Amino acid sequence: MAEKKPQDEVSLIHHLNRNVAKLAAHMEKARFDEYAAMFSRPVKFIWFNFLAGIARGFGIAVGMTVIVALVLFFLSKMIDLPFIGYYIAQIVEMVNSYLSEGKSMLR
């Protein structure tokens, strides 16, 4: 077996140092240390996820309110159209009859 030359070892060490530096840069870019620290404190992790869930729920509520308001606005503009207004009136009538039946069943 041939002995390794010192030059090969030096180039191997330089190559290894470059790869370790790249790995360190990628880990810093990914903020892996903050991610690992978050898991080391479970109370902080649970609190953070709780607050994120509240924010998501609030965002969904606000978003759906805006969408429903827009749909109702456009439906109110369409009710004057003869063809569409007839179907919307039928839907309103069905909903009202369903609600009145439900109220009578609860009494």
Euclidean distance between CA atoms 79 and 91, whole angstroms: 12
Instruction: Assess whether pLDDT exceeds 60 at residue 60.
Output: yes
Q: What's the number of domains the chain is made of?
A: 1
∠ CA 62-63-69 to the nearest 5 degrees? 90
User: How far apart are the C-alpha atoms of 98 and 79, rounded to whole Å?
Assistant: 21
Q: Residue 5 falls within a domain, yes or no?
A: no
pLDDT digits (tens, 9 = 90+) for 92-103: 888 888 888 876
The total number of residues shown for the chain amounts to 107
Q: H-helix or E-strand containing 4? A: none
Residue 93, in any domain of the structure: yes
Asked if residue 25 is part of any domain, the answer here is: no
Q: Which two tokens stand for residue 8?
A: 């090969």
As separate numbers, helices (DSSP H) first and strands (DSSP E) second, the chain gives 4, 0
Domain with 84 in it: 31-106
Domain assignment present for residue 60? The answer is yes
Determine the residue type at 43: V
Within-domain flag for 10: no
77 lies in a domain? yes
Tell me the pLDDT band of 31, cut-offs 50, 70 and 90. confident
pTM above 0.85, yes or no: no
Would you say residue 12 lies in a domain?
no
The tens digit of pLDDT for each residue in 40-56 reads 888 988 999 999 999 99
The proportion of the chain whose per-residue pLDDT surpasses 70, expressed as a percent, equals: 87
